[in-house]
Amino acid sequence: MDLELARFKDRVRMLRIENGLGNGFPLDWEALCLDTFEQRRLLLSEQKRDKLLYVALYTLLNVSENTNVERKMKKRNVCEYLMQTLGRSDVGLLTLAVTFLRRLSVRKENVEVMLRSDPNATSGTGGDDASNIVDRLSRFLLADGTVPDVLVSQTLRLLRNLSHHHQCRATMFTRNLLPRLVAFAKTREHADAAWGLLYHLSVDRSTRPFFAYTEGTALGVSKISTLFADCPE
C-alpha cells in the first residue's frame, strides 16, 4: 500500500506540473492534456492500482478483527493510508476504505488520528484537520442516485461515529451538510443512520437554530423535537 500510494502521489504531482494545474483536490482528470494512448495507459494503470489496493485493504480489514493486530496497524499509520484512499474513484475501493475507517472509528485514539491527519498535504492544500475528512466524505453524500446506497450508508455511519467530536460536528455545519442529512433522513434506506447523525449534531445549543432554517425540515424538526423531549438540557 505504501509503495502504490507513493507512486500515485508522484504520478499526480508530475501530471500537475506537466499540465500547469493547481493544487486542488481531487485532480481533475478531464482537464489533463493527454492523447488517446496516454489516456488508456493511465486508465489501465489506475485500474490495476485500485485492484491491488482493494485486495490489500480487504486483507487488512479481515485481520483487524484481532485487537492486537489493529494496534499494530495504528502504529503503521493505517488511518492515514485509508484517508489517502478516499481520493480514488473506484466505488468498491471507496466503500471498503470507508467501511474500514468506520470500524477503526470506534476507538478514540483512531478518531483523533483521523481528525489530526492531513492527507491534503500531498496536494498542498492544507487546511484544518477535521475539515479534511469531512470534505472527502461529503462528496459521497449525494441523493441523486449517482452514489451507490452502500457507500452512502457507510459514509453516514462513519460520520455518525466522528460526530462525537465537537470539531467535526462544527465542520459539518460549515460545509452545509445539514440539508443533505435531512434529505437522507426521509429515505427508508438511510433513515436510521441519518437520524442518529442529526441527533448528535443537535447536542450543541449554538447550532440548534440551523435546524429551523434548513429547507424541508418541517417534518424533521417535529420528529427531532419528539426525540429530544425527554432529553435533559
Q: Which domain holds residue 184?
A: 2-228
What is the distance between the alpha carbons of residues 108 and 53, in angstroms, rounded to a whole number? 26
What is the distance between the alpha carbons of residues 207 and 114, in angstroms, rounded to a whole number? 23
CATH number, position 159:
1.25.10.10
Grid cell listed for 75: 502504529
| pLDDT tens for each residue of 128-154 | 444 468 888 988 998 788 899 999 999
What is the distance between the alpha carbons of residues 219 and 187, in angstroms, rounded to a whole number? 13
Does residue 233 sit within a domain? no
Does residue 109 sit within a domain? yes
| pLDDT tens for each residue of 187-227 | 888 989 998 998 898 888 888 787 776 765 555 555 555 55
CB 88, CB 54: distance < 8 Å:
no
Does residue 121 sit within a domain? yes
Does residue 98 sit within a domain? yes
Q: Provide the number of structural domains found in the chain.
A: 1
CB 163, CB 111: distance < 8 Å:
no
| pLDDT tens for each residue of 94-121 | 999 999 999 999 888 888 888 875 444 3
Does residue 76 sit within a domain? yes
Residues near 158 by beta carbon (within 8 Å), at least 6 away in sequence: 98, 101, 102, 105, 137
What angle, 0 to 180 degrees and rounded to 10, lies between the N-to-C axes of helices 149-162 and 108-116? 100
Does residue 10 sit within a domain? yes
